[in-house]
Structure 1
């Protein structure tokens, strides 16, 4: 008596593939057998590359919340969070190829994913610069540039009369 969900492991003859083995899948339209493993690996690499490319967007909300919680006053905590929000994307921009080295096998074109990664890091840098602007650390007003104005030389001079003794 065979159960509905049983499988004979000691059959001795090579029958169908074991449960969970999906080495080959037959295409019912063409009647051809394609290797599912290669297609599956490529799709997994595309998914992983997309995860790596969009990772800066995922961390952007946490960083933005931390910057919002630190306030707009200038203190050590808010400066450290803002510096971290600026330095980490800059480091990531210098290591774009390093972020995708595990996925680069020559078969998958990573250009689109790298461009998404670069754009996401530029958005993160923009958020950090906005925070610097709200804290007053960026020169955004005309009085921030007064040191560039030339010093006017006086044409005339006046002095008090000194009695001669």
Structure 2
């Protein structure tokens, strides 16, 4: 026989296998834990419920902060479209109003998978963060509409008999 081969016939099955190491990831008490009494099962169920609650809250916070990831991209798109009134800038600005409005309307559906008896009160703050970030996106759209000159801010915008405000000087920053 070769030096690297093992003769399985020479291994005594009755002899204790203390010289053979356990494989990686093997837990010695795994089989005994599976056969444990109902008392330990109840304790582990309570601990799993607590872990599930913590996991649900963590995932709810992930959903709550997800609108913050799109705010820098939306701001960059607004910057790149300029302050002129073109179809592309109007479409981007309309997107800043309609998408957050749809997300706000589906607030309960977004957080429904995290709702339970334990998490009912803990989901209020993530919902408010989600709502606030979408309102911030809408405020970005209001800023863009104002920068394009489409937001009526003077009395002459509302009344036809008043003359429009004359701009005497422009400053480029």
Q: Quick check: TM above 0.5?
A: yes
Consecutive unaligned residues in structure 2, runs of 5 or more: 1-18, 35-42, 163-173
The CA deviation at 1:6 is 4.2
CA RMSD of aligned residues (A): 2.4
- 1:113-160 Cα offsets, whole Å, 9 max, x none, are 1111111111111111001110111102333123276xxxxxxxxxxx
The CA deviation at 1:75 is 0.7
The separation in 1 between residues aligned to 2:26 and 2:158, in whole angstroms, is 83
The CA deviation at 1:55 is 1.4
Which residue in the other structure is 1:3 paired with?
21
Matches within 5 A, 1:2-151: 2-3=20-21, 5-6=23-24, 16-17=29-30, 35-108=46-119, 109=121, 110-147=123-160
Higher helix fraction: Structure 1 or Structure 2?
Answer: 2
The separation in 2 between residues aligned to 1:44 and 1:142, in whole angstroms, is 53
The CA deviation at 1:2 is 2.5
Which residue in the other structure is 1:25 paired with?
none
Q: TM-score, normalised by structure 1?
A: 0.69
The separation in 1 between residues aligned to 2:144 and 2:67, in whole angstroms, is 17
The structure-2 alpha-carbon separation of the partners of 1:137 and 1:107, relative to structure 1 and needing over 3 Å to count, comes to same
The structure-2 alpha-carbon separation of the partners of 1:5 and 1:140, relative to structure 1 and needing over 3 Å to count, comes to same
* Regions of 4+ moved over 6 Å: none
Other structure's SS at 1:100 match: helix
Consecutive unaligned residues in structure 1, runs of 5 or more: 10-14, 22-32, 150-165
Q: TM-score, normalised by structure 2?
A: 0.66
